[in-house]
Structure 1
């Protein structure tokens, strides 16, 4: 693992019963990733998640809609020489997201098959495998 700055975030893995997950792409980035963002001073990861989903996707969610799945680390997608530590929360809550703020695009991706887009390393290496296992095992419902 590389030395350098670390960004700590909260991220949502929304899953639906059709085997898809909601991903977002920030303006100016080619990479899709889970919605969420940086945790502000004094915020818990759950509070940051609720705030970020409201600001970026116009979603009004409750912290209780999510199950904590763990803390994952990976190279950041959009910040060179930076690591991201993500508190990941999973939800089967049906949502209709609307891209706001720095989010250029929000769309549902199938968890199986070849993707038609580039994914952030955190998404590709940690969150998609977690989501596939969760769906297969019926967890987080």
Structure 2
């Protein structure tokens, strides 16, 4: 059986203190990086800019590819999520918009007890190794 895969693009956004922004979608308990699925014809950065504007109200200034990551999907049982993840700089005050219910800033080296998506844990391990 072919695994069911969700392809997305996500952003690692950090504040001046080095904390990382995570978001929780409405009706879920798991925090993840902001971002989402590409619309037909979109490249990574176009999709990322659109998603960041829609979800957190921030404008993408620039982004550098951190890598491609894969993990079990947090909210879609039986699916794998595959993400092109970018280190992103944004402008504007992040706010919970669209399907986002809550924002949090975490220490990537010590996120505490906040429930994180499996993909988040993979990315945090990569950030720690860098």
Query: TM-score under structure 1 normalisation?
Result: 0.84
Q: Give the structure 1 partner of residue 17 of structure 2.
A: 18
Deviations 1:22-45 (A, max 9, x none): 000001111100000001111111
Runs (5+) with no aligned partner, structure 2:
none
How many residue pairs are counted as aligned between the two chains? 130
Deviations 1:80-138 (A, max 9, x none): 100111000003556521101110111211123351310000001x211223344xxxx
- Residue correspondence of structure 1 range 117-132 to structure 2 within 5 A: 117-124=114-121, 126-132=122-128
Q: Please say if 1:116 is aligned against 2:117.
A: no
Q: Give the structure 2 partner of residue 96 of structure 1.
A: 93
Question: RMSD of the alignment, in Å?
Answer: 1.8
Higher strand share: 2
Runs of 4+ in 1 over 4 A off after TM superposition: 92-95
Q: Give the structure 2 partner of residue 137 of structure 1.
A: none
Structure 2 distance, partners of 1:91, 1:132, is 17
Higher helix share: 1
Q: Give the structure 1 partner of residue 5 of structure 2.
A: 6
Deviation at 1:53, TM superposition (A): 0.3
Runs (5+) with no aligned partner, structure 1:
135-141
Q: Give the structure 2 partner of residue 28 of structure 1.
A: 27
Structure 1 distance, partners of 2:71, 2:42, is 22
Query: TM-score under structure 2 normalisation?
Result: 0.90
- Residue correspondence of structure 1 range 40-51 to structure 2 within 5 A: 40-51=39-50
